[in-house]
Amino acid sequence: MTAFEHEEATVTGLRASMASGDLSSRALTESYLARIETIDPGLRSVLEINLDALEIAERMDEERDAGNDRGPLHGIPVLVKDNVDTADRMRTTAGSLGLGEVTPARDAFVIERIREAGAVILGKANLSEWANFRSTRSTSGWSARGGQCRNPFDPARSPCGSSSGSGVAVSANLCAVAIGTETDGSIICPSSITGIVGLKPTVGLVSRSGVIPVAHSQDTAGPMARTVADAAALLTVLAGADERDPATAGARVEPDYAAFVDADGLRGARIGAARNLAGFNDHVDRLFDEALDAMRALGAEIVDPADIAHNGELDDPEYEVLLYEFRADIEAYLASLGPSQPYKTLADLIAFNREHAEEEMPFFGQEVFEQAVEKGQLTDPKYVEALETCRRLARDEGLDATFAKHELDAIVAPSNAPAWLIDPANGDHDVGGESTFAAVAGYPNVTVPMGFAFEMPIGISFMGRPWTEGTLVRLASAFEVGTNHRRAPGAEHR
């Protein structure tokens, strides 16, 4: 990792430089594109560069010079995960070769929002193909289209997934901020494991229309950034009601999530330590203890333990729900692409992978696809029962019960174990981490750097009640400022 003139630059700092005339959006965009060209061949975090990026940047400069400021993302370069529709010259493929021939007719809602906000879309980020929902022994960060994405702290180790490229690119300073998506862990894990901030919103706060789905009961897009303030600024742009996504109709949206950033935000807060979500690594446990001590020193009251009931009981019902919803949701998405899309059903995608097995399945298969295609309709009693079980265990008897019992503002737990070695022969072998309760419940979750174990980043997750993203931003930003664990890859060697 070489030094970079805009290393660790924040959205606020970049905007100030552009406002003063010291920096143009075009110059900034050129710098990031040059860094991608230099650094990314060893990381494979960027699938495709937006050929219109410099033109967009110039237009944003002209608007700023004319006195038209669109807001916090005006002229800021953003990378977008390649399962988010862009109706431009870029492709939207979920990393699969099977979706490479059709351009979506319309931008995803979140793309419409960031374009309106004046952001410069740099390109599409690599990901775990099909958002890591194709095989039971997949390798995170691998896609047929992009190859193996690698952790910038150690390229032999996993970047986690499925928002692998988004996390790696932000951490390696290849963009200012990025958009990721999550069903269970796909924002939290890659953010934590690459040493950045990831914010998984309440399901329904950010529209999923135009996002290649896994499961509508858990899917969401969200921001990935180097600071909590930058993640909050991006969330402000992404959040909002969308008639194409009924889940957003009841969203409780704050006008400015960055306004919650507060260096003193932990003072007086009640934080629960979910010890039963830790215990998978002694080094991580020590970091967790130090984090709790730091929060106490910053004025928080720590309830320890504040364990969440039913840990380990969600795996089977969650998987059943995801299988049913994936078949229904992916076929609805394929239909939205219009008659020019040759693949109309999940069975068509399975057939494509078999016909192109050398390119699509050199390391792992499509067992998840094959299980999902056998599922029935969403009226099937097995699906209804599994969904009811998930909501009861994750919400009523899980997070809701823990919040109520201890009167908590947030629940914290380690986000991950140290990144494991990439192993295409056997697939992922991560040993622990937190994401499932908030993911299944559909509740918000923010991961912030907590320190390093074996020279690899470790994050801490702040879980909240629904629609409490502002509270989580306040708490996480105070922890971030009070501990300052973020480190750029390779910084210690420069």
Domains of the chain: 11-493 (3.90.1300.10)
pLDDT band for position 297 (cuts 50, 70, 90): very high
Per the rule left: phi > 0, alpha: psi between -120 and 50, beta: everything else, 147 is left
pLDDT band for position 54 (cuts 50, 70, 90): very high
**Given this model, what pLDDT does residue 122 score?**
98
* C-alpha to C-alpha distance for 460 and 192, rounded to whole angstroms: 8
* C-alpha to C-alpha distance for 472 and 445, rounded to whole angstroms: 8
Burial 141-166 (b: 16+ CB within 10 A, else e): bbbbbbebbbbbbbbebbbbbbbbbb
What the block records as the tokens of 152 is 């910038």
**Given this model, what pLDDT does residue 50 score?**
98
**Given this model, what pLDDT does residue 101 score?**
83
Examine residue 162 and say whether the peptide bond preceding it is cis (omega within 30 degrees of 0): yes
pLDDT band for position 492 (cuts 50, 70, 90): confident
Catalytic residue list contains 96: no
| % of the chain surpassing 90 pLDDT | 96
**What average pLDDT score do residues 425-449 get?**
95
For helices 53-65 and 11-20, what crossing angle results, to 10°?
60
Tokens 């699509």 correspond to 360
Nearest partner of 337 among 146, 106, 493, 171, judged by Cα: 106
Task: Point out the catalytic residue in the list 45, 164, 166, 186.
Answer: 186
* C-alpha to C-alpha distance for 415 and 450, rounded to whole angstroms: 9
Task: Point out the catalytic residue in the list 162, 166, 209, 461.
Answer: 162
* C-alpha to C-alpha distance for 350 and 20, rounded to whole angstroms: 54
Give the DSSP H or E segment for 216. Answer: none
pLDDT band for position 368 (cuts 50, 70, 90): very high
**Given this model, what pLDDT does residue 393 score?**
98
**Given this model, what pLDDT does residue 325 score?**
99
**Given this model, what pLDDT does residue 254 score?**
98
* C-alpha to C-alpha distance for 298 and 263, rounded to whole angstroms: 9
pLDDT tens, position by position, 68-81: 999 999 999 999 99
Task: Point out the catalytic residue in the list 24, 45, 81, 143.
Answer: 81
* C-alpha to C-alpha distance for 61 and 206, rounded to whole angstroms: 28
Quick check: pTM over 0.85?
yes
Nearest partner of 130 among 30, 214, 222, 44, judged by Cα: 214
